[in-house]
Amino acid sequence: MTQSFSVVTIVKGRTRQLRNLIRSLEHSNVLPAEVVVVWMASPCEDSLITSQHFPIHHKFVAHDTLPIPKARNKGFLGAHYDKAVYLDVDCICSADMLEHIVQSVIPGRVVTTQIKYLEVLPEHVDYKTLAKDAIDCPYTPEQPLNQPISFRAFHTTSFALYINDFENVGGFDESYCGFGVGDVDFAARCEAKGMHLFMLPDKILRQFHPRVDPPINHLSDIVNNAEIFKRKWGQYPVKHWLTEFAKEGFIYEEYPTRGLRVRRLPTQDEIHAHMTTRPY
């Protein structure tokens, strides 16, 4: 059964994850009226992917290295329906998750889900089978379900809201470039507008991909974006990352008083040493 809502996702190089996401959407009890895929790369064979279950609209924002806020905005503003569900390209959904999340969206509310992590990039999208081996992040505080919670629990892995609310908030601030902080700013502006965050019992699965922890490969982006956030909101975001950067000498430990700037860039050996197979 198709309902009148859009699914939005953005992608750069994770085409296998994208195909898995689309296959999981095809198995949903309630199908989206459209899927909007925004590519942070030039057109390629994978950007022609289609589905027999719903139209897929491919859009492109390829003039910057990693234009995450621009890509998200292009996806939401390119949606044709009143409600939009944003799913990270790494997501795999249960059969009833879309139905639950769309039913829970009302004006003034952002709806999100819990996350479980896969330790492999799956070859299939059988949610029930995959969920048996998925793990929780031990560092994520447990949140009350089906009631308003702090926007500190907001994440961009999966969330849904009315397009009118997205526009009222102003979308994602495109002053933020590349990786990090833009999601924290979006949550802060939702809260400032008086919106409410609801977390559902549903657990979305997040596909594995190698990553750098802490993300020193995105050091310059994070430092620049954190400074923008500080000027807007009067405090630094992502302090757990900044603390780790300071410990390793990439930024000054006195950044809260001296100002935040890059002290030195990581070497390729350091980036390689920080690669982790931990999924969260």
Interstrand relation of 91-92 and 148-149 (parallel, antiparallel or unpaired): unpaired
Give tens-digit pLDDT for 149-202: 999 999 999 999 999 999 999 999 999 999 999 999 999 999 999 999 999 999
Give tens-digit pLDDT for 21-42: 999 999 999 999 999 999 999 8
Q: Which CATH number fits domain 5-206: 3.40.50.150, 3.90.550.10, 1.10.3720.10, 2.130.10.10?
A: 3.90.550.10
Long-range pairs for 117-124 at CB < 8 Å and ≥24 separation? 117/205, 117/206, 117/208, 117/279, 117/280, 118/92, 118/205, 118/206, 118/207, 118/208, 118/279, 119/208, 119/277, 119/279, 120/208, 121/16, 121/17, 121/207, 121/208, 121/209, 122/20, 122/92, 122/207
User: What is the dihedral sign for C-alpha 226, 227, 232, 233?
Assistant: positive
Residue 64, pLDDT > 80, answer no
Crossing angle for the helix pair 182-192 and 68-77, to the nearest 10 degrees: 50
Q: Which of 69, 68, 76, 11 is nearest to 44 (CA)?
A: 11
What is the pTM assigned to this prediction? 0.96
Average pLDDT rounded to a whole number, residues 8-29? 96
Give tens-digit pLDDT for 91-131: 999 999 999 999 999 999 999 999 999 999 999 999 999 99
Q: Where are the domains of the chain?
A: 5-206, 211-276
